Structure 1
Amino acid sequence: MFFIYALTLPLVGALIGWGTNLIAVKLLFRPYRPYKVPFLPLVIQGLLPKRRQDLARSIGETVESELLTFDDLVKQVHTEEMTKRLSQAIGDAVHEAMMVRTPGIIPGSIKKALADTLADMVEDRVPGIIDWLADEVAQAAREEIKIGRMIEDRMNSFPLETLEKVIFRVASKEIKHITVLGGVLGFLIGLVQVLFLYLARVADTPVI
């Protein structure tokens, strides 16, 4: 009988530990909607579905205030290199327009000189205009665009089924480790129980 206990207790403990950890991981998402347990004043719902709006709001506020502010986005777009490329593009467009639209009676050399001069003037003035426009647009957009709110709305509208698949796919190794660790701990607890049973059995054995 003791041999049966020594064999089954660790195995049952491992199975229980593995199963409970697996269920705990699943309960992060399942059930998606509140489920009323029959005959009991108990309603069950997955942690993430239940706290979805709170989590989305908290993540949105954290991202907007700590990780990705509107000013950060403006800095990524409004750079010296970007301003230089825009100025060059506008200058080239002005030069091409002058060459095409200038009356044909004007000699080509004069037409090219005028186009070059006007393009250079535009390229010199454009950076200041771009800086002014960027500041004006950024100020107006800052009042209208709320990054945190956008993230919150997107997370609230994201299908829970898809979110669950993504998380389980990305964290598959960690989830597996959690369930395996539950099995190992359950097995160790079973061994401890076997040890206590053995000590109790030895203590009850009469000394001849």
Structure 2
Amino acid sequence: MLATAWAEFQANLWFYLSMPLVAGGIGYVTNVLAIKMMFYPVEFVGVWKPWLGWQGIVPRKCAKMARIACDTMVPRLINEKEIFQRLDASEVAKILGAPDAQQLRALVDEIMAEHNPELWAVLPERIKEMAVRRVRVDNETVVRRVLDGMVDEIDKVFDLKEMVIEALMRDKELVNRIFLETGRKEFRFIGHCGFYFGFLFGIFQMVGWVFFKADWQLPTFGLLVGYLTNFLALRMIFRPQQPVKVGPVTFQGLFHKRQKEVARDYSQLIADEVVNPSNITEAVLRGPRRDYAAEIVARFLRDEVDEQLGRMKPAVQAAMGRDRFEAAQQAAAGYTVSRLPELVRPMDDYAKEAMNLSETLSSRLAVLPPDEFEGMLRPAFKEDEWMLIAVGAALGFAVGVLQLLAFNIVAV
């Protein structure tokens, strides 16, 4: 029997030697394809959603992935109050600058022309200039009061979790990038593992085929290679969570072993693309809670103008009429609020440095317990691991059928 098997092995040497390589190829291709199917296509491609076609698992579950990212980050790693408390009012005031006399005069002219044109038209120029000087506000005082007001009423003004979820749901490609860039080494490892495990299984397949041949054997082995390479690679990424020493060798899931590196990459992406000063400003001043923020700014502006007017306030109210005076105040505050997104843009660089979100997130994420840390990336796999493994098994089975056809052709 051995002599017969050896003779056949020699007669079909290249076919047999190809088995480990083919099995390694099956393992690699099925694993890489499974990863690609997790992320692409970003939008559904097919004819009958969701049954006849495909959409990447991560973009399809973008909302859920965004909430998972938030649950890891807010308030475990950072919160709204901490973000605003890191801004120094004097620095912000210096960057924003105060309106010059010409700008302020133009604003006062516009408001008075709307709310009391008769009075403004007959006032001497000297009185008008005095009025403009009176309403010049102390920029730093207003900024400090506004920032303190934001912190005191932060729940009404800003929801960090809501902002992050909306930003990620708007940009599915960004969600893909977060997973692909922070888990790039893990995904590469899955592909390489597919080849190594597949090659090893292919050796057993080759030996088994020498001594025993059945039509079901090659397809079944292909299915097992596709299944096991995906399964083992996924397990080796996340298990064991803690280092386990076996003799001189220490084992630990690759993702957990790289916790500090992953924390740095993840935090940099989040700080640059999601929780950045521009997005925070947009959320506060133009988001669903913008009315609360506008009211805080307007309130402290009115208070500052009242203080600057001082004893002149009753006389100004009497001259204009109380209702017109209050309407003019409201108009001035409204004008400032409407221009805030444009006014605060120059402070983006300072705010990014002061908030220091990348370093904060990275240092805190690096020391998260293994279960919580795994929760960042594992959900991208966990619910649909069976699907990824099934795809690998199906592709392996198909290649096994092709191997069987090739052998039959060679044998003929």
**Global fold match (TM > 0.5):** yes
Measure the CA separation in 1 of the matches of 2:370 and 2:395: 31
Give CA-to-partner distance per residue, 1:137-184, whole Å, 9 cap, x none: 988755432121232234324433245457554544653332112212
Equivalence for 1:65: 272
Deviation (angstroms), 1:29: 1.2
Shift of 1:8: 2.7
1:34 aligns with 2:221: no
Aligned alpha-carbon RMSD (Å): 4.3
Distance change (3 Å), C-alpha of 1:30 and 1:121: same
1:46 matched residue in structure 2: 253
CA distance in 2, matches of 1:165, 1:75: 29
Q: Does 1:14 align with 2:189?
A: no
Tell me the CA shift for residue 76 of structure 1.
Answer: 2.8
Q: Which structure would you say has the larger RCO, counting Cα contacts within 8 Å and 6 or more residues apart?
A: 1
Distance 1:60 1:162, change over 3 A: closer
Query: CA–CA distance in 2 between the matches of 1:128 and 1:71?
Result: 21
Aligned residues of 1:92 and 1:119 also touching (Cα < 8 A): no
Q: Secondary structure at the match of 1:28?
A: helix
Which of 56, 74, 99 is residue 263 of structure 2 equivalent to? 56
Query: Unmatched 5+ residue regions in structure 2?
Result: 1-208, 304-317
User: In 1, Cα distance between the equivalents of 2:268 and 2:379?
Assistant: 26
Q: CA separation in 1, counterparts of 2:375 and 2:270?
A: 23
2:235 alignment partner AA: K
Alpha-carbon separation, structure 2, partners of 1:122 and 1:42: 74
Q: Secondary structure at the match of 2:214?
A: helix
Tell me what 1:152 maps to: 362
Q: Aligned partners of 1:28 and 1:61: how far apart in 2?
A: 22
Note closer, same or farther for the CA distance 1:84–1:168 as it changes in structure 2 (3 Å cut). closer
- 1:180 is matched with 390
The one-letter amino acid paired with 2:279 is D
Residues 31, 45 of structure 1: 8 Å contact kept: yes
CA contact (8 A) 1:33 1:45 kept: yes
CA–CA separation in structure 2 for the residues paired with 1:60 and 1:128: 37
Q: Distance in 2 between matches of 1:176 and 1:5?
A: 28
Q: CA deviation at 1:122?
A: 5.5
Alignment partner, residue 67 of structure 2? none
Distance 1:188 1:37 in 2: 38
Aligned residues: 180
SS state at 1:43 partner: strand
- For the Cα contact (< 8 Å) 1:31–1:44, is it kept in 2? yes
Q: Paired residue for 2:281, among 47, 51, 74?
A: 74
Task: Please report the TM-score for the alignment, with normalisation by the length of structure 1.
Answer: 0.60
When residues 4 and 47 of structure 1 are mapped into structure 2, their CA distance, relative to the original with a 3 A threshold, is: same
**3-state SS in 1 of match to 2:241:** coil
Is the aligned partner of 1:5 residue 2:214?
yes
Identity of aligned residues (%): 22
Is the contact made by 1:5 and 1:194 (CA closer than 8 Å) also made in structure 2?
no
Q: TM-score, normalised by structure 2?
A: 0.34
Structure 1 spans left out of the alignment, 5+ residues: 94-109, 203-208
| Inter-partner Cα distance in structure 2 for 1:65 and 1:176 | 34
Quote the Cα distance in structure 2 between the aligned partners of 1:88 and 1:144: 25
